[in-house]
Amino acid sequence: MPRPHPSRCDPSRSDYAVIVALHERAVARDEPTYRDPSSGLIVQTVATHLARGSCCDSGCRHCPYVAL
């Protein structure tokens, strides 16, 4: 499972491991979103973005279309 691009989610965040685990669990359960542990906001999974088929330019955390 790809990790969030560092420009979208800083790996030095204290909750980074929790974010990755929540994302992996949501994808494994075929859930389109999960709740961010710090802000409580809803975050879309990479699978949701892939199903859309293109980037929406909203700066999404798990966007697979971010240029490396």
For the whole model, what pTM was predicted?
A: 0.90
**DSSP one-letter code for 4:** P
pLDDT value of residue 66: 85
**Structure token pair of residue 66:** 């971010």
pLDDT value of residue 2: 78
* Confidence at 68, pLDDT banded by 50, 70, 90: low
pLDDT value of residue 60: 94
User: How many whole angstroms separate alpha carbon 27 and alpha carbon 21?
Assistant: 10
What digits encode the pLDDT tens for the residues 14-56?
A: 999 999 999 999 999 999 999 999 999 999 999 999 999 999 9
